[in-house]
Structure 1
Amino acid sequence: MAFEFPRPRSRAPIHRARMSLRGENYVYGNPEVYAKDMERLLREEKFCDTRFLVGQKVQAIYGHKCIMASRCSAMSSMLLPNAGELMQAARSSHLIKDVEPDIFRFVMRYIYTNRISFITLPTNKLIEILRASLHFQLHDLAKLVEAHLISLIDMDTVFALLNIAVKYKSTELSFTAMSFIVQNAQNLLNASNEGITVLTPAAMLTILKSDDLPVNELTLFRMAAYWAEEYLYAETSQISLLRSQSSQLGRSNPSQRSSHSKSLTNIYKAPRSSFFSPVSPRKRRARAYRAVWTVMSEIRFALLNPTELKEIEADEELKRLIPPRCLADAWRILTFKHTNSHADEKLTITTSLPRRRAHKPSSARNEGSL
């Protein structure tokens, strides 16, 4: 009978770090346990050596310099401008007014744990998190937020999400939103869709610059004109309301002025313009008209037929929304087409030139009067 060595008793596996040939460390273990430990460290605020004064109402939030600086380059520049500051014992404070406390806590939780959950977050909070992640140069977090926002695109949210994509230069979100708009252009890009009023001038420009919209130019013009009228009304009515509230504030007694100030702050929290800036109402109105003219100049008026151009010129309310040179250039281009000539070099407004766009035949474009 052959002799057999006794088998060693099995032991529980030990997670150890092993060294590769290149010298990197491979750490074994459960990442969930590590994340929970880091989250507890953040929640219990133990051993904190820095303080953030966050939000308009200034709420104190505590953190650890070494963790924040190592995970976020923007935080590193803010927390450790000098190499010797890491060893300072005194607790430092940093003012961050342009981020709300709940958003900053969300960002800090990601920095500490590298985890994120969007389950209970409304869209407006996601937008603020995206803005904060870009502000603090947390590009991985920004990509995660963008991916989640893309999953939310539908008929009701696409315009608002396009606003976000254009404002924060999110290429992927902008591309996906525009693809959805092109696919659903017949339902989205018309004057009967009140949802277009949420578009910012920059987002409307993005739509009108597209060469792939399967909508004829007259429909796009009506849609853009409806947006422009609503945009101007919103801007000018807010200016008038500000004047009315200011006059009431001047006539009110000192005990009533604080309540007036609060109501003004709530009313004029709109993102389109800052109504407590030193810009005069006249300049604000002029700025609003410049924005409208910039948008309307992207309509390819040379794709309209002469009858449609005449109807537009006959309507004074529509003419005030359009830069005069756009209509003049459109007539010149149509004349050149009729005479088989070429446009001269004086036509510098390229957006009034005919360019490729998927539009219906001219026989189907006469959809009634404007």
Structure 2
Amino acid sequence: METPGLVVHGESAPFSTALRSLVNNPLYSDVRFVVGQERQEVFAHRCLLACRCNFFQRLLGPEPGPAVPSPVVLSTVPADAFLAVLEFLYTNRVKLCRHSVRLCGRLPASHSGLERNVYQYREKYGYLSLCLEFVVKVLDVELVCEALQVAVTFGLGPLQERCIAFIEAHSQEAFRTRGFLELSAPALLPLLRSDKLCVDEAELVLAARSWARVGAAVLQRPVAEVAAPVVRELRLALLAPAELSALEEQNRREPLIPMEQIVEAWKCHALRRGDAARGAPCRRRRGTLPREHHRFLDLPFK
């Protein structure tokens, strides 16, 4: 009977260092990328990319040829993000920082099929999971809305739940960040539906207006049109009559909320019943400040 061979393992650190030295190294490189708005030139090695990533295998083919673009242009992928992905493909590890996680986790607003596949295979080969592990460890007010957007974009349920729970506990601070203003409507909706936000409804209305203004400026669309997918989740009946009157006046100057939604809130006040107007949510949030008319509401905080 043949004696089994002995498997000998070399030291991993020198091996990883040697492979890392090939990242963006023109030595023996046989494929070139032009990355980002700065058009940074990045060198790579097709055999390594192809064996690590099926997308690159299909893109680059078995050997150089006219079908392979030279250079491969990735104009909207940030150079730092692309180099971090390459480092992971070459060494199976990467050093993460808050800046690189933001770049690598954020999907551009517009991107080619090639760039979209780079993001997809980044996720498939584990780099995104490393980013997520890092994000959870360093999650704070400044990062949480950006992380929530990434979770919604990629359908990462556990991360989305973690981010929403964090925002529920730090609502006022999170809603003042740039990341909040840059949320998409699908990312903002679950927040506005939460009973556990530690913020009063008056502040939430102001935050929603600021969010819609930013979106209107970026998209070149009316504020009311941008706000339409989310404003139905505002609980206007929680506002006192004076606050509701002020909101109605501001809404005339800068439309944000459909008039019928304001009318529904007034019905709750007139009839002194929280369920009087169908579609007018009256549940108090965790951060709702008490007002005299709240004693007439039929739906307390859950």
TM surpasses 0.5: yes
Q: 1:32 deviation in Å?
A: 1.9
Alignment CA distance shift 1:70-1:194 (3 Å):
closer
Alignment CA distance shift 1:111-1:208 (3 Å):
same
Alignment CA distance shift 1:315-1:50 (3 Å):
closer
Residues in 1 aligned to 2:165 and 2:174: alpha-carbon distance in whole angstroms: 13
CA contact (8 A) 1:72 1:138 kept: no
Q: Which residue of 1 aligns with 2:81?
A: 103
Aligned partner of residue 297 in structure 1, secondary structure: helix
Structure 2 unpaired stretches of 5+: 108-117, 296-302
Q: 1:324 deviation in Å?
A: 1.4
Amino acid at match of 2:188: M
- Percent of paired sites with the same residue: 23
Q: How many matched pairs?
A: 277
Residues in 1 aligned to 2:234 and 2:48: alpha-carbon distance in whole angstroms: 51
Amino acid at match of 2:86: M
Q: Which residue of 2 aligns with 1:248?
A: none
TM-score normalised per structure 1: 0.60
Q: Which residue of 1 aligns with 2:144?
A: 158
CA contact (8 A) 1:17 1:28 kept: no
Residues in 1 aligned to 2:76 and 2:181: alpha-carbon distance in whole angstroms: 23
Q: Which residue of 1 aligns with 2:127?
A: 141
CA contact (8 A) 2:145 2:174 kept: no
TM-score normalised per structure 2: 0.72
Structure 1 unpaired stretches of 5+: 1-15, 19-25, 81-85, 239-271, 274-283
CA contact (8 A) 1:53 1:97 kept: yes
Amino acid at match of 2:128: A
Mapping for residues 222-241 of structure 1, pairs under 5 Å: 222-231=202-211, 234=214
Amino acid at match of 1:148: F
Amino acid at match of 1:285: R
Residues in 2 aligned to 1:174 and 1:141: alpha-carbon distance in whole angstroms: 18
Residues in 2 aligned to 1:105 and 1:54: alpha-carbon distance in whole angstroms: 9
Q: 1:299 deviation in Å?
A: 0.6
Residues in 2 aligned to 1:312 and 1:66: alpha-carbon distance in whole angstroms: 62
Amino acid at match of 1:353: P
Aligned partner of residue 22 in structure 2, secondary structure: helix
| Aligned-residue RMSD, C-alpha | 3.8
CA contact (8 A) 2:24 2:43 kept: no
Alignment partner of 1:128 is 2:103: yes
Q: Which residue of 2 aligns with 1:32?
A: 13
Q: Which residue of 2 aligns with 1:281?
A: none
Residues in 2 aligned to 1:141 and 1:39: alpha-carbon distance in whole angstroms: 16
Corresponding residue to 2:173 among 188, 200, 206: 188
Residues in 2 aligned to 1:315 and 1:102: alpha-carbon distance in whole angstroms: 44
Q: 1:54 deviation in Å?
A: 2.3
Q: Which residue of 1 aligns with 2:196?
A: 212
Residues in 2 aligned to 1:292 and 1:167: alpha-carbon distance in whole angstroms: 19
Q: 1:114 deviation in Å?
A: 0.7
Q: 1:224 deviation in Å?
A: 3.2
Alignment partner of 1:285 is 2:285: no
